[in-house]
A and B are shown apart, each in its own frame.
Chain A
Amino acid sequence: MSLIRTRRGTILLATASTLLLLLALGGWFLAKRQKASARGEAISVDALQGKPAPEFVLLDLEGRTLRLSDLRGKAVQLNFWATWCGPCRLEMPWLSELHDKYASQGFEVVGVSTEGEDLKPRDENGRARQRNAVREFVAEMSPDYPILLNGDSISHAYGGLDSLPTSFFLNKDGVVVASQIGIRSESDIETNIRKALGLSTQAHETSQP
């Protein structure tokens, strides 16, 4: 009897310990998730890979509405940038060049200005100031693709956009096939564009599109 009680006690203790261990692990993961959520990182940039890009509706500089789903059927580079971001300025001519090169194959670049100033919803003056800054910047850089305003309103859905530039490359079904934070080279961007178009990414610099 004593033996059974002892054995049962051991099993109970082991089971309880395992449960506690699982609870501790669960608590740790939950705490980690909450921490990330509190920092506005509900979805990481990597987590969007292989998923449909979150839908949005934004205005361009002329006040026209652009809906992401309107671009379904085209491969898209969604490029989040800001007027104060040097690397963003550097890559803008590259994007125009690559847009030209691949447009005939159904490729589109969409620039989304993301000034990151946390304007209050009714701060019309702040919004007007941002719009003017973007307008001046675009006039100077002359990108040959549409520029949308107020990317901050969709930053959460796109991983928080803690660094710029950040680009998402969508295939013709609107699925994110690659993402890129920061710049390295024009060639890196082209590789991702070709991935979005379903083209070979081997030695693209010398190959014809």
Chain B
Amino acid sequence: MNKDFTGMRIFLGSVALLAMATTCVWGQFVGGGLSQQKTGRTDAVEYLYPEQVTVPAGRPYKLTLHFRVAPGLHINSHTPHDEFLIPTVFSIPGSKQVRMLSINYPAGVDATLSTNPKEKLNVYTNEFILDTQIVAEPGNHLVEGKLHYQACDEHECMPPKTIPVTIDIIGK
């Protein structure tokens, strides 16, 4: 009899612990899922690479930056057709060790949306690159560039946003 109850106790305890573990894992999963979904909508653009680059110190170097626009979204190119639209702009503010000499923005793609076929937009979608010319002082510099953009989908737009573009630049 005692053995039966001890067994029952172990069984119930195990079930309770299993339920708790499941709840925690489920909570993490569902909570994380929602968070990711939200982040996905808010962070329309993701910086891809490079994360680290070695450049000849004191000499101009062509640095190509790769970005990705989330599926279903577009951002204005650097030269949108309408004066009210916010252009995509990259900058490296406040760094004396790494200076950006020039930047080439890709030509955007002309597009119309099904909701407004009359208006022609000039946008970046999927992956796009920015060609920059930089000069770095000797040493290791953790540079935080900034990409400013404004994203929309077919039906709605998100507020303008600036994302950090962090690159470890080693001048040798």
Contact = CB atoms under 8 A, between A and B. Distances in A.
A37 to B, nearest CB: 13
Interface stretch (A48-56, A63-71, A176-184): A176-184
Contacts of A32: 27, 31, 34
B156 A87 contact: yes
Contacts of A21: 16, 19-20, 23
Contact of A86 (B42, B113, B159): B113
B16 A13 contact: yes
Contacts of B2: 2-3, 6
B114 to A, nearest CB: 11
Contact residues on B (Cβ < 8 Å of other chain), bracket: 35 or more
Contacts of A13: 9, 12-13, 16
B34 A87 contact: no
A162 B8 contact: no
A57 interface: no
Interface residues of A, number: 45
Contact of A10 (B12, B121, B152): B12
Interface string A24-47: 110110011001000100000000
A17 B12 contact: yes
A3 B13 contact: no
Nearest to A2: B2
Interface string A82-118: 1111111110000000000000000000000011110
Contacts of A163: 41, 156-158
A97 to B, nearest CB: 16
A20 interface: yes
The DSSP consensus for interface residues of chain A is: helix
Interface in B1-55: 1-2, 5-6, 8-9, 12-13, 15-17, 19-20, 23-24, 27, 31, 34-35, 38, 41-42
Contact of B12 (A14, A27, A84): A14
B152 A162 contact: no
B20 A86 contact: no
A184 B119 CA distance: 16
Interface in B52-103: 84-86
Contacts of B106: none
Interface of A: 2-3, 6-7, 9-10, 13-14, 17-18, 20-21, 24-25, 27-28, 31-32, 35, 39, 82-90, 114-117, 133, 136-137, 161-165, 181-184
